[in-house]
């Protein structure tokens, strides 16, 4: 090795040309488009756009006037609301861009019906559940969202529901108005008698609607992102004790506002109030279910302004009927609008609003401006910082880097799974060893894939070349890069890639290198990604399927013992590799398995006397 050179996450790189996206001509250098309220000094990255006529933007749901004005300065704007799926598919072939909120489903059929003309879909809000991202990417369509403008509005609505629920505001209001209506129906002929009936009916029910105080109560914020953080700040101002659960939130950011990060089980077991702010992912879908409701403190109160799908709504009704959950205040639902005969909606201890989290005048205008700027930028050929899918990469570049792209993502996934829960990932270093000069190797795609591996498993965000830096920055993760320049032939783009996570605890102590960081390293051999180093231990296993890492006393029979346990459980072993410090000392065994072993099988492995620690890692 001869020399090394470092660069930060945002560092500029040598030009990289992209193939065209339909009628768009993409060319570097590129300017990254940021919303007005986020603009600082933007680094130059790209663009040339060739388009014969003024583009057409279809706005399928209501958008603020400020956003519409921005769009009209650049494009023909067609505001057509409440379109049926069939009507949308008919119109879309005449449009270059589509802007929606949460109520319009942008399905594969929409992209297929566009005939390749649709260049960008703008989601005026955060979630992209209603957009088929896979189909968008397949059809060369950029998808952008507006993730920042409605943060405060959503947090304020969460607090509004929290306080209204605690003091029975909605129920008391409905009770009084029901009594007033009864009075007006009969006031002409029976004014005295009806007044007596109203009092007897108890519509002025002060005793029934006695609430609970917030001061001194424990609020668990489930998901400590932008909205969750703002809810925590406001709840602290109300005198609440605030804890939070988010396995990848930095502890120092939470501590800075007086919030303690705890495990999921501790959060739901100790909270008087739960406020949900996690994304809807396979891991969080129906995460509040019968099993987890049973772990909660009796009388807990729940607020949800995140995504309806994170709650099993039938289980919530059962928990309300059983008294485990005293009240719930919900702004979002699994199906929107929910069925009129929904037991949850009709429940007397449930307060509901029709997805109003972002519905303030200020937020609506902010979202409108943010999404309009992103869409116009994309139509001009600029890569928006809020893009959630990637442009096409030249075939020749992708062909050469393809195995390294896979290696980068899997090293990121391995590294983050080695982090002990509660340790916030905030400092990551990626080291590339190569005989090529820095100008001959563009690593942006590789860095993006490491970021994808680190973040995507625990987030609803799709990480790619376009949004990797933005996503990492938003989550407080700083990714630095280092080049180690090797002597030799530059025919192969890379000799190895190493990923290090600093200042965290590891659930597998052997993954900690001499530098004190979690360290994993890999190479590409015969076109296949391999894991070649864990901590200080040299291994050699193909990064396919899943991996079990075991630290053991180096002694005869260990491979056979572990292999027999897995064989008895019908778990297929694809490979094994052992790296050791010295004979009869400590060793690390890496075992590739096609299926995830049962808990009992993993326990049997852990119970082997010579096994000092082990961890299962899903790739």
Q: Which residues are catalytic?
A: 307, 336, 355
Q: Pick the residue with more confidence: 596 or 384?
A: 596
Which residue is associated with the tokens 């993502």?
Answer: 409
Indicate if 395-618 has the same CATH topology as 151-184+201-352.
no
Average pLDDT over residues 206-222: 94
Tell me what pLDDT residue 572 has: 86
Local structure of 587: helix, strand or coil: strand
* Class of 395-618 in CATH: alpha beta
Q: Is the pLDDT of residue 48 over 70?
A: no
Query: What pLDDT score was predicted for residue 141?
Result: 86
Distance CA 468, CA 461 (A): 10
Instruction: Report which of residues 8 and 216 the model is more confident about.
Output: 216
The rounded Cα 262 to chain-centroid distance in angstroms is 19
Torsion of CA 97, 101, 104, 110, to 10 degrees: 20
Q: What is the pLDDT of residue 226?
A: 87
Q: In the predicted model, what is the mean pLDDT of the chain?
A: 84
Structure tokens at 170: 């909605």
Q: What is the mean pLDDT of residues 17-37?
A: 37
State the pLDDT at residue 383. Answer: 57
Other beta carbons less than 10 A from residue 150's beta carbon: 25
Tokens of 452: 């994808």
Does residue 323 contact residue 329 with C-beta atoms inside 8 Å? no
With beta carbons less than 8 A apart as the criterion, state whether 454 and 502 touch.
no
Fold of 56-145: Rossmann fold (3.40.50)
CA-CA distance, 389 to 383, in Å (whole number)? 10
pLDDT at residue 248 in the model:
77
Strand 120-123 and strand 142-145: the pairing is parallel
- How many CB atoms sit inside 10 A of residue 616's CB? 17
CATH code for the structural domain at 151-184+201-352: 3.40.50.720
| Domain residue spans of the chain | 56-145, 151-184+201-352, 395-618
pTM score: 0.59
pLDDT by residue (tens digit) across 467-512?
Answer: 677 778 878 889 999 999 898 777 888 999 999 999 988 888 888 9
Q: What's the mean pLDDT in 463-467?
A: 66
Residue 286 region by backbone torsions, left for phi larger than 0, else alpha for psi between -120 and 50, else beta:
left
Residue 395 makes CB contacts below 8 A (sequence gap 6+) with 19
427-452: string of b/e by CB count within 10 Å (b at 16+)?
bbbbbbbbbbeeeebbbbbbbbbbbb
Q: CA 33, 39, 40, 41 torsion: positive or negative? A: positive
Say whether the peptide bond before residue 29 is cis (omega within 30 degrees of 0). yes
């Amino acid at each position: 090795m001869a020399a090394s050179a470092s660069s930060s996450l945002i560092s500029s790189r040598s030009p990289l040309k992209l193939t065209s996206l339909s009628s768009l001509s993409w060319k570097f250098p590129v300017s990254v488009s940021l919303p007005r309220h986020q603009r600082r000094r933007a680094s130059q990255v790209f663009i040339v756009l060739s388009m014969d006529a003024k583009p057409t933007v279809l706005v399928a749901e209501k958008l603020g006037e400020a956003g519409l004005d921005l769009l009209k300065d650049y494009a023909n704007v067609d505001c057509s609301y409440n379109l049926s799926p069939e009507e949308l598919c008919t119109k879309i072939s005449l449009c270059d861009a589509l802007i929606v909120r949460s109520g319009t489903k942008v399905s594969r059929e929409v992209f297929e019906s566009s005939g390749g003309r649709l260049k960008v879909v703008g989601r005026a809000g955060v979630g992209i559940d209603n957009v088929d991202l896979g189909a968008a990417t397949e059809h060369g369509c950029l998808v952008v969202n507006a993730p920042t403008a409605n943060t405060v509005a959503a947090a304020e609505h969460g607090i509004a529901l929290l306080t209204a629920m605690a003091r029975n505001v909605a129920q008391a209001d409905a009770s009084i108005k029901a009594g007033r209506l009864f009075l007006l129906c009969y006031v002409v002929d029976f004014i005295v008698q009806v007044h007596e009936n109203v009092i007897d009916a108890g519509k002025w029910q002060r005793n029934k609607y006695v609430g609970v105080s917030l001061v001194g109560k424990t609020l668990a914020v489930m998901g400590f992102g932008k909205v969750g953080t703002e809810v925590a700040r406001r709840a602290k101002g109300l005198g609440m004790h605030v804890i939070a659960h988010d396995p990848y939130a930095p502890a120092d950011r939470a501590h800075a506002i007086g919030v303690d990060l705890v495990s999921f089980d501790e959060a739901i077991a100790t909270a008087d109030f739960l406020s949900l702010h996690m994304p809807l992912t396979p891991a969080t879908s129906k995460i509040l279910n019968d099993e987890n409701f049973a772990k909660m403190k009796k009388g807990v109160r729940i607020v949800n302004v995140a995504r309806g799908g994170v709650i099993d709504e039938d289980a919530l009704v059962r928990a309300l009927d059983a008294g485990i959950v005293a009240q719930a205040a919900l702004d979002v639902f699994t199906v929107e609008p929910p069925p009129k005969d929904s037991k949850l909606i009709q429940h007397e201890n449930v307060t509901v609003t029709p997805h109003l989290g972002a519905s303030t005048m200020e937020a609506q205008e902010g979202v409108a401006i943010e999404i309009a700027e992103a869409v116009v930028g994309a139509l001009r050929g600029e890569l928006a910082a809020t893009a959630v899918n990637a442009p096409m990469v030249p075939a020749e570049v992708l062909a050469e880097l393809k195995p390294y792209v896979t290696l980068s993502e899997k090293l990121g996934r391995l590294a983050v799974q080695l982090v002990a829960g509660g340790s916030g990932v905030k400092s990551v270093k990626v080291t590339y060893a190569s005989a090529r000069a820095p100008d001959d190797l563009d690593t942006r795609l590789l860095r993006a894939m490491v970021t994808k591996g680190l973040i995507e498993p625990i987030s609803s965000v799709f990480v790619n070349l376009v949004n990797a830096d933005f996503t990492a920055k938003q989550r407080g993760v700083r990714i630095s890069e280092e080049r180690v320049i090797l002597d030799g032939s530059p025919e192969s783009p890379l000799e190895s890639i190493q990923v290090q996570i600093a200042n965290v605890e590891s659930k597998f102590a052997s993954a900690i290198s001499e530098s004190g960081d979690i360290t994993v390293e890999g190479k590409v051999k015969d076109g296949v990604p391999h894991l070649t180093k864990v901590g200080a231990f040299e291994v050699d296993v193909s990064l396919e399927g899943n991996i079990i890492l075991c630290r053991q006393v180096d002694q005869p029979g260990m491979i056979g013992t572990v292999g027999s346990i897995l064989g008895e459980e019908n778990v297929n072993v694809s490979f094994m590799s052992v790296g050791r410090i010295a004979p009869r000392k400590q060793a690390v065994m890496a075992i590739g398995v096609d299926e995830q072993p049962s808990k009992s099988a993993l326990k049997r492995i852990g119970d082997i006397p010579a096994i000092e620690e082990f961890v299962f890692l899903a790739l």
